[in-house]
Amino acid sequence: MTYNGKTILITGGTGSLGKALTKYLLTRHPDLTKLIIFSRDEQKQFQMAQEYPSSEFDQIRFFIGDVRDYERLKRAFKDVDYVIHAAAMKHVPIAEYNPDECIKTNIGGAQNVINAALETNVERIVALSTDKACAPINLYGATKLTSDKLFIAANNVAGWNPIRFSVVRYGNVMGSNGSVIPFFLKRKKEGKLPITDPTMTRFNITLDDGVKMVMHALENAWGGELFVPKIPSYSITDVAEAIGPECEKPIIGVRPGEKIHEEMITASDSFNTYDLGNYFVILPTQTKWNLDEFIKEFDAKIVEPGFYYNSGENTEWETVESLRNLITKHIDTSFKV
């Protein structure tokens, strides 16, 4: 797929993934006509503009706005070809205590993005999901599951419009804002790394791999797919050991809304889940396109009935040593134990 002459907009574009996508697009696809960073934080936009001055990157534009504001989204989407929807309230404990705010952004904002795209000439949208949307037990996960359903169902209401909506779901992004590894790196200086539960596990994906997956969906989705990567898990105790083997590691208990293990595919999803090689894809029960043609195009193989994908029962794991290497490569080049 060519990006020559195309315009891409990223909601939540000043976040960790938005910035990584920006770097990727401006490096790999300098023939882009325009890259629009849509977010509500003027300070983050100001800082990002210092990294990408218009004198060197004439494709980039910064657009202040909130996904809760439908009219602002409609204006931002004018003449946009592709949208990557990354804006969300994502901190689990904060969402538990401020549920109405989380709902307004993650559900209301998602519907606004869909409606604005249908009213303009957007061709493709990829929405970012989370492992917490699979069998959710917290409000954040429930709002993202709702968002996933809205984007997938939007393919059915598009009518004559050839727009394609798809979703990407993955686990903890290594080094993203608010994630455990940057938190532990800061707390290491105090000699104490608080652990919620010693048996806790999480899926792990680097920002680079997250970007590749979003681009894969943008370029290959037929509309209605929910893409899931095959990625390793880690144990929270291994993360603590990798960062601060000499630190105290007190057990503080699970926070509100947290799971011990995360899922990305449930056994109930297995009847619509296909293996694409590097990724799984959960398909809707009804599609606008021919399933047999999809299977042939991607050599897709349906998984066994009852298959599920759980961070605690994964077949691939990060070790203490591999975590240290990843931290040095992707988060802090000066990191030492």
Catalytic residues: 132
Give which of 83, 8, 15 is closest to 44, Cα–Cα: 15
CA–CA separation, 200 vs 202, rounded Å? 7
Angle among Cα 90, 110, 48 to the nearest 5 degrees reads 60
- Which residues are CB-neighbours of 196 under 8 A, at least 6 positions away? 236, 251, 252, 253, 254, 255, 258
Tokens representing residue 115 in the block:
């409606």
Tokens representing residue 268 in the block:
């109930």
Tokens representing residue 141 in the block:
């996960």
CA–CA separation, 115 vs 248, rounded Å? 50
Give which of 263, 292, 227 is closest to 131, Cα–Cα: 263
Give which of 185, 177, 192, 173 is closest to 334, Cα–Cα: 185
| Ordered alpha helix ranges (H), 223-290 | 236-243
CA–CA separation, 66 vs 267, rounded Å? 36
